[in-house]
Chain A
Amino acid sequence: MTYRQPKLDTSPKVSDEVRKTTCYMCACRCGINVHLKSGKVSYIEGNRDHPVNRGVLCAKGASGIMQVTAPSRLRAPLKRVGPRGSGAFEEIGWDEALELAVSWLKPLRETAPEKLAFFTGRDQSQSFTSFWAQGFGTPNYAAHGGFCSVNMAAAGIYTMGGAFWEFGQPDWDRAKLFILFGVAEDHDSNPIKIGIGKLKARGARVIGVNPVRTGYNGVADDWYGVTPGTDGLLILSVIHELLKAGRVDLDYLARFTNAPCLVDEAEGPGRGLLLRDKDGKLLVIDKATGKPAPFDRTGVRPDLGATHKGARTVFQHLAERYLSEEYAPEAVAGRTGIPAERIRGLAAEIAHAAFDAPVVLDRAWTDFRGDVHRQMTGRPVAFHAMRGISAHSNGFQTCRALHLLQILIGSVETPGGFRFKPPYPKPPEAHPRPHSGFNPCRPLNGPHLGFVQGPGDLALKADGSPARIDKAFTWENPMSAHGLMHMVIPNAHAGDPYRIDTLLLYMANMSWNSSMNTAAVMEMLTDKDETGAYKIPHIIYSDAYASEMVAYADLILPDATYLERHDCISLLDRPICEAEAAADAIRWPVVEPDREVRGFQSVLVDLANRLGLPGFVDEEGRAKYRDYADYMVNHERRPDVGPLMGWRGNGDQTGRGAPNPDQLQRYIDNGGFATAHIPDEAQFFKPWNRAYQDWAVSLGLYDQPQPYIFSLWSEPMQRFRLAAEGHGERQPPEHLRERVARTMDPLPIWYEPFGEAAGAAYPVHALTQRPMAMYHSWGSQNAWLRQIHGHNPLYVPTKIWTEKGFADGDWARVTSPSGEIVVPVAHMAALNENTIWTWNAIGKRKGAWALDPAAPESTKGFLLNHLISELLPENGDGMRWSNSDPVTGQAAWFDLRVRIEKADPPGEAQPAFGAIASPVPPARRNRP
Chain B
Amino acid sequence: MTALPPPSARKLGLVIDLDTCVGCQACVTACKGWNDQGYGVPLSDQNAWGSEPSGTFLNRVHAYEVQPDTGPAQVVNFPRSCLHCENAPCVTVCPTGASYKRAEDGIVLVNEDACIGCGLCAWACPYGARELDGAAGVMKKCTLCVDRIYNENLPEADRVPACVRTCPTGARHFGDLGDSESAVSRLVAERGGYDLMPELGTSPVNKYLPPRAKGADERVDILAPLLDVKASGFAGWLDRLLEKI
A852 within 8 A of B: yes
> A319–B238 contact, CB under 8 A?
yes
Contact indicator per residue, chain B 28-58, by CB within 8 Å of chain A (1) or not (0): 1110111001100010111111111111010
Q: What 1/0 mask marks residues of chain B from 115 to 153 whose CB sits below 8 Å from any chain A CB?
A: 000000000000000000011000000000011011111
Instruction: Determine the residue in chain B with the shortest Cβ distance to A70.
Output: B49
Segment at the interface with A among B69-77, B80-88, B174-182, B196-204? B69-77
Q: Range of interface residues on chain A?
A: 35 or more
How many angstroms from the CA of A190 to the CA of B167 in the assembled complex? 9
User: Are the CB atoms of B65 and A829 closer together than 8 Å?
Assistant: yes
Contact among B1, B3, B153, B167 with A56 in the assembled complex (CB-CB below 8 Å): B167
Within 8 A of B (CB), among A816-860: 828-831, 850-852, 854-856, 859
Q: Which residues of A sit under 8 angstroms from B102, Cβ to Cβ?
A: 5
Give chain A residues whose Cβ lies under 8 Å from the Cβ of B211. 219
Contact, CB under 8 Å: A320 / B223: no
Q: Knowing A1-B2, A10-B150, A219-B22, say if A193 contacts B222 (CB, 8 Å).
A: no
- Please report which residues of chain A, range 178-207, place their CB below 8 angstroms from some CB of chain B when the two chains form the complex: 189-190, 193-194, 196-198, 200-201, 205
Contact of B216 among A12, A251, A342, A856 (CB under 8 A): A342
Q: Is A391 positioned at the interface, with any CB of B under 8 Å from its CB?
A: no
Q: Is the CB of B169 within 8 A of A197?
A: yes
A20 to chain B, nearest CB (A): 14
Are the CB atoms of B34 and A923 closer together than 8 Å? no
Q: Is the CB of B20 within 8 A of A196?
A: yes
Q: Is B165 an interface residue (CB 8 A)?
A: yes
A856-B51 in contact given A11-B151, A830-B75 (Cβ < 8 Å): yes
A56 contacts across to B, CB distance below 8 A: 26, 165-168
Among the stretches A420-428, A447-455, A779-787, A801-809, the one at the interface with B is A779-787
A244 within 8 A of B: yes
Q: Which of A198, A923, A928 contacts B44 (CB 8 A)?
A: A928
Q: Does A352 contact B (CB under 8 A)?
A: yes
Give min CB distance, B12 to chain A, whole Å. Answer: 12
Q: Are B47 and A45 in contact, with the CB atoms below 8 A?
A: no
- What does the 1/0 interface line of B201-238 toward A look like (CB < 8 Å)? 00000000001101111011111111001000010011
Chain A 52-103 residues near chain B, CB threshold 8 A: 53, 55-63, 65, 71
Interface centre among B52, B67, B245 (most CB of A within 10 A): B245
Whether A304 contacts B242 by the Cβ 8 Å rule is yes
Q: Nearest Cβ distance between residue B154 and chain A, in whole angstroms?
A: 6
**A201 lies within 8 A of B100 (CB):** no
**Given the interface contacts A62-B29, A196-B169, A926-B45, does A852 sit within 8 Å of B237 by beta carbon?**
no
Interface positions, chain A 336-361, Cβ under 8 Å from B, are: 341-342, 344-345, 347-349, 351-352
The answer to whether the Cβ of A543 comes within 8 Å of any Cβ in the partner chain is: no
Q: With contacts A14-B154, A244-B229 known, is A215 near B23, CB below 8 A?
A: yes
A852 to B53 Cα, complex, angstroms: 11
B52 CB contacts on chain A under 8 angstroms? 856
Partner of B74, one of A57, A62, A213, A304: A213
Contact yes or no, A59 B24, CB < 8 A: yes
Q: Contact check: which of B34, B45, B50, B51 meets A43 at CB < 8 Å?
A: B34
Could you say which residues of chain B place their CB within 8 Å of the CB of A131?
none
Task: Verify A830–B23 contact, CB threshold 8 A.
Answer: no
The reply to whether A218 and B75 contact each other, CB–CB distance below 8 Å, is: yes
> Which residues does chain A contribute within 8 Å of B47, judged by CB atoms?
852, 925-926
Contacts of B49 in A (CB 8 A): 71, 781, 783, 786, 850-852, 855, 923
Binary interface encoding of chain B residues 155-178 relative to chain A, with 1 for a CB under 8 A from any of its CBs, else 0: 001100010011111110000000
Interface string of B71-115 (1 = CB under 8 A from A): 011111100000000000000000011001011000001010110
Cβ of B151 and Cβ of A14 under 8 Å apart? yes
Q: Is A783 a contact partner of B146 (Cβ separation < 8 A)?
A: no
> In the complex, what's the smallest C-beta–C-beta distance from A494 to chain B, in angstroms?
38
B223–A14 CB distance below 8 A: no
Complex Cα distance, B44 from A787, in Å, reads 12
User: Closest residue of chain B to A303, judged by CB?
Assistant: B242
The answer to whether A928 and B42 have CB atoms under 8 Å apart is: yes
Q: Does A278 contact B (CB under 8 A)?
A: no
Tell me whether A193 and B169 are in contact in the complex, defined as CB-CB below 8 angstroms, given that A222-B217, A250-B244 are known contacts.
yes
> A911-928, CB under 8 A of B: which get 1 and which 0?
000000000000101111
Q: A829-B73, A852-B49, A852-B51 are in contact. Are A59 and B28 (CB under 8 A)?
A: yes
Does the CB pair A785–B151 fall under 8 Å?
Answer: no
Asked if B189 is at the interface of the complex by the 8 Å CB criterion, the answer is no
In A854-900, the 8 Å CB interface with B consists of 854-856, 859
- Give the CA-CA distance A57 to B52 in the complex, in Å: 27
Query: Please, what's the 1-or-0 string for A25-50, where 1 marks a CB less than 8 Å from any CB in chain B?
Result: 00000000000010000111110100
A241 and B223 contact, CB distance less than 8 A: yes
Question: Which residue of B45, B73, B166 contacts A783 across the interface (Cβ within 8 Å)?
Answer: B45
CA distance A617 to B26 in the complex (A): 45
With contacts A193-B22, A245-B226, A772-B23 taken as known, whether A854 is within 8 angstroms of B50 at the C-beta atoms is yes
Q: How far is B220's CA from A342's CA once the two chains are assembled, in angstroms?
A: 12
Q: Is the CB of A344 within 8 A of B238?
A: no
A772's contact among B24, B113, B223, B224, by CB below 8 Å, is which?
B24
| A344 CB contact (under 8 Å) in B55, B114, B149, B223 | B223
A735 at the B interface (CB under 8 A): no
A14 to B34, CA, bound (A): 10
The 8 Å CB contact of B5, one of A5, A60, A785, A790, is A5
- What's the least CB distance linking B211 to chain A, in Å? 8
Instruction: From the candidates B30, B217, B224, name the one contacting A349 in the complex (CB within 8 A).
Output: B217
Cβ of A4 and Cβ of B97 under 8 Å apart? Answer: yes
Report which of B151, B225, B229, B242 forms a contact with A250, defined as CB distance below 8 A.
B242
A773 contacts B by Cβ under 8 Å:
yes
Residue on A with the closest CB to B3?
A3
Q: Compute how far the CA of A790 lies from the CA of B20 in the bound complex, rounded to whole angstroms.
A: 25
A57 touches B72 (CB 8 A): no
Residue pair B135, A928 in contact (C-beta under 8 Å): yes
Q: What CA separation (Å) do A112 and B20 show in the bound complex?
A: 57
Residues of B within 8 A of A58 (CB): 24-26, 166, 168
Q: Which among B1, B24, B25, B53 is the interface contact of A786 at CB below 8 angstroms?
A: B53
**Bound Cα distance from A597 to B149, whole angstroms:** 39
Q: Are A205 and B217 in contact (CB under 8 A)?
A: yes
Min distance, Cβ A718 to any Cβ of chain B, angstroms: 22
Asked whether A254 lies within 8 Å of B245 as measured between CB atoms, the reply is yes
Chain A to chain B contacts (Cβ below 8 Å), 13 pairs:
A12-B153, A194-B168, A197-B20, A200-B20, A205-B217, A773-B24, A773-B28, A783-B48, A783-B53, A850-B49, A851-B50, A926-B47, A927-B44
* Chain A residues close to B by CB (< 8 Å): 1-6, 8-14, 37, 42-46, 48, 53, 55-63, 65, 71, 189-190, 193-194, 196-198, 200-201, 205, 213-223, 225, 241-242, 244-247, 250-251, 254, 304-305, 316, 319-320, 323, 341-342, 344-345, 347-349, 351-352, 772-773, 781, 783-788, 790, 828-831, 850-852, 854-856, 859, 923, 925-928
Given A223-B214, A790-B53, 20 extra CB contacts under 8 A: A6-B111, A9-B147, A189-B24, A193-B168, A193-B169, A197-B169, A200-B169, A201-B20, A221-B212, A221-B214, A222-B216, A320-B234, A342-B216, A787-B53, A787-B57, A851-B50, A852-B50, A852-B51, A926-B135, A927-B45
- Top 6 closest pairs, chain A to chain B, by CB: A193-B168, A829-B73, A218-B75, A197-B169, A245-B223, A923-B49
